[in-house]
Amino acid sequence: MTAGHPVRVRRRVSPKLAVAVVYVAAIFLSTLDTTIVNVTLPAIGKAFAVPSASVGLVSLWYLVSLAVFMPASGWLGDRFGARRMLLASVTLFTLASALCGIATSLSQLIAFRVLQGAGGGMLAPIGMAMLLRTFAPHERVKASSLLTIPVSLAPSLGPVLGGAFVTGLSWRWVFYVNVPVGVAAVIFGMIHLPAFDDHRPGRFDVAGFLTAGLGLGLVMYGISEGPSRGWTDSAVLLGTLGGPVLLVAMIRIELSRAQPMVDLGQLKNRLFSACTSIMTLESVGFLGVLYVLALYLQDGRGQSALQAGLTIVPEPIGVMLGAQAASRLLYGRLGPRRQLTIGLLGSATAMALVAVPGAQASLWWIRLIVFGLGLSVGQVFVGTQAAAFATVPPSDSARASTLFNVGRRLGGAAGVALATTTMAVIGGDVAGQHMAPYRAAFLAAALVCLLTVAVAVRIKDADAASTIPRRAT
């Protein structure tokens, strides 16, 4: 070996595959954790001898923590390096999962869930920024079909796994299951993840972080607790009114900064703004429908959490098949405008059709509808993720991905809040086999998707030309 010449080590795994594997594993775990814990809350309450109102904080504070720490992820990735921060985020999430599993009191469990949220909140934006820097624009549609898997599969798989763990093992296993996957992802990433050129993010924007983090956290608290505690509850009002006030202050502060924590200037990019809006609103309808469907199957049809989860399984299968069709056939032929329009119309139609069956309708009819919903949602997820960053410079990818993922997370929480509130307004305390509250919630979600078509039809395919794969001639 000649002195002064670095040794070149041949990577066994390509950088593209390495980034995709670590990101998919990490985002799957953080998304799964949002739903897998919900079905175990009664068991956790019984184990710690606390009322149901208190045990709900286990899920709530995870969502709040996600919202608080997500705005800082772009700056941290640029300042300390995307590779280092992604691995640190996965490590923190994995360690917090193990601590949740061994918690001996509700207060300990809530504290460890906050740690989980801190790690989970940074995973998606940093990982997505790495993907954007790894995959060329024309390759992103294929990458998006892979990324759709954790986002779509995890919400549906969560109740299945959670029900199985509670029934066969213990509620603690909903946290332990994260540990081997997280450890494997970290080891794999340390060996194979490439380093990226760091960008100079400037000084840490304390005012921007506090107003954005606290504002988003309060909004997440308000829309999560509003349906159960009532929208006039003082704590809920603090979230739904105080949160937006802080976010308005954040907007004024960030627009005056040369290097803001939350780069709102990205929303001036018409393609990025349109795709972020579509992803947010599609998440409202999609996750709202999944939430209400699980309630209907359990309360209205008497299924267990495990049985309800298995009934909904055709939906993620549909998403995965739809994503493959979108990436391999439709995106390149139709362009993002037509593909997203078709996907949104299909989503709205499927959501409306779920409201049609009666209380004793065949479950196979429901399975067929949710399969169709999955096919349509796959089009929207692939189209938005492929096109959103077409005109975003690589140096801005970290902060743009932060905005994109904040919208997706808030959309999911707002979807559950919209569905629950609609049910309460229509049916009050009526549940069980009375279909009116469920139907109203399904139709509300469908209406959101239908209105989103107005955003999709204004997209210009020319803006996303770099992401459309060239067809062989």
Domain-embedded: residue 250:
no
pLDDT score of 200: 67
pLDDT in tens, 81-105: 778 888 898 899 999 999 998 988 8
Domain-embedded: residue 338:
yes
pLDDT score of 208: 77
The count of structural domains within the chain is 1
pLDDT score of 433: 54
Domain-embedded: residue 18:
no
> Can you give the pLDDT of all 473 residues of the chain as single tens digits?
444 444 444 456 777 788 888 888 877 877 777 777 777 777 787 888 776 556 767 777 787 787 778 777 777 877 777 788 888 988 999 999 999 989 888 888 888 988 888 888 888 788 777 777 777 777 777 777 677 777 667 776 777 777 778 777 888 888 888 899 889 988 988 888 777 665 666 677 788 788 888 887 888 788 777 776 777 888 888 888 888 888 888 888 877 777 777 777 777 888 888 989 998 898 888 888 888 887 788 777 777 767 777 788 888 888 888 888 888 788 888 888 999 999 999 999 999 998 887 667 788 888 899 899 989 988 888 888 888 888 887 777 777 888 888 888 788 778 878 888 888 777 654 544 577 888 888 999 999 999 999 999 998 888 888 877 665 43
Global pTM? 0.80
Domain-embedded: residue 130:
no
What CATH number does the domain containing 270 carry? 1.20.1250.20
pLDDT score of 144: 72
What are phi and psi for residue 371, nearest 5 degrees?
-65, -45
| Tokens matching residue 349 | 């139609």
Q: Amino acid identity, residue 107? A: S
Domain-embedded: residue 6:
no
pLDDT score of 4: 42
| Tokens matching residue 22 | 């670590």
pLDDT score of 372: 92
3-state SS, one letter per residue, for the chain: CCCCCCCCCCCCCCHHHHHHHHHHHHHHHHHHHHHHCHHHHHHHHHHHCCCHHHHCHHHHHHHHHHHHHHHHHHHHHHHHCHHHHHHHHHHHHHHHHHHHHCCCCHHHHHHHHHHHHHHHHHHHHHHHHHHHHHCCHHHHHHHHHHHHHHHHHHHHHHHHHHHHHHHHCCCCHHHHCHHHHHHHHHHHHHHHCCCCCCCCCCCCCHHHHHHHHHHHHHHHHHHHHHHHHCCCCHHHHHHHHHHHHHHHHHHHHHHCCCCCCCCHHHHHCHHHHHHHHHHHHHHHHHHHHHHHHHHHHHHHCCCCHHHHHHHHCHHHHHHHHHHHHHHHHHHHHHHHHHHHHHHHHHHHHHHHHHCCCCCCCCHHHHHHHHHHHHHHHHHHHHHHHHHCCCCCCHHHHHHHHHHHHHHHHHHHHHHHHHHHHHHHHHHCCCCCCCCHHHHHHHHHHHHHHHHHHHHHCCCCHHHHHHHCCCCCC
Name which of 312, 443, 410, 329 is nearest 369 in CA terms: 312
Name which of 32, 407, 397, 44 is nearest 201 in CA terms: 397
246, 215 Cβ separation under 8 angstroms: yes
196, 80 Cβ separation under 8 angstroms: no
pLDDT score of 152: 67
Structural domain that includes position 367: 265-473
